[in-house]
């Protein structure tokens, strides 16, 4: 089974930047997305991208600060995170292979993805 491997997490101060990467060697997905989950909170969708690259989706809380992009030949999705805030602290998970779209929203947590990574921790200090 194809493994998704995230990298790029770490600890930064508020206002800093990080770039997350998620590779799925040889796997081509219709959508790829990033979700996050903070301790004691529900998982939430952060950003998603259609494989054609011309459709992106963002949670309101990250619009204007995060950018999702896709390198199709590599099968790698990136999440550039700028102006990070302490409330962005969470485990970030990569998802691929959307199998059931809920409410026409690839970021809805009821939307189903076939592949998930193990996560990469992002910690933002104030």
pLDDT tens-digit profile of 59-83?
A: 999 999 999 999 887 789 999 999 9
Q: What's the rounded Cα separation, in Å, for the pair 48 and 31?
A: 7
Element containing residue 3 per DSSP (H, E): none
50, with CB counted inside 10 A (0-12, 13-18, 19+), is middle
pLDDT per residue as tens digits for the range 7-62: 999 999 999 999 999 987 767 788 999 999 999 999 999 999 998 878 999 999 99
In the prediction, which pLDDT does 54 show? 81
In the prediction, which pLDDT does 1 show? 67
Measured over all CA atoms, what is the biggest interatomic distance in the chain, rounded to whole angstroms?
40
């Amino acid at each position: 089974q194809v493994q998704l491997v995230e990298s790029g997490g770490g600890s930064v101060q508020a206002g800093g930047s990080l770039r997350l990467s998620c590779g799925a060697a040889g796997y081509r997905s219709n959508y790829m997305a990033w979700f996050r989950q903070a301790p004691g909170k529900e998982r939430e969708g952060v950003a998603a991208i259609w494989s054609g690259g011309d459709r992106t989706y963002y949670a309101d809380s990250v619009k204007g600060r995060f950018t999702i992009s896709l390198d199709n030949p590599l099968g790698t999705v990136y999440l550039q995170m700028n102006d990070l805030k302490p409330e962005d602290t969470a485990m970030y998970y990569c998802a691929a292979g959307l199998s059931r779209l809920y409410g026409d929203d690839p970021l809805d947590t009821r939307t189903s993805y076939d592949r998930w990574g193990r996560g990469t921790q992002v910690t933002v200090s104030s």
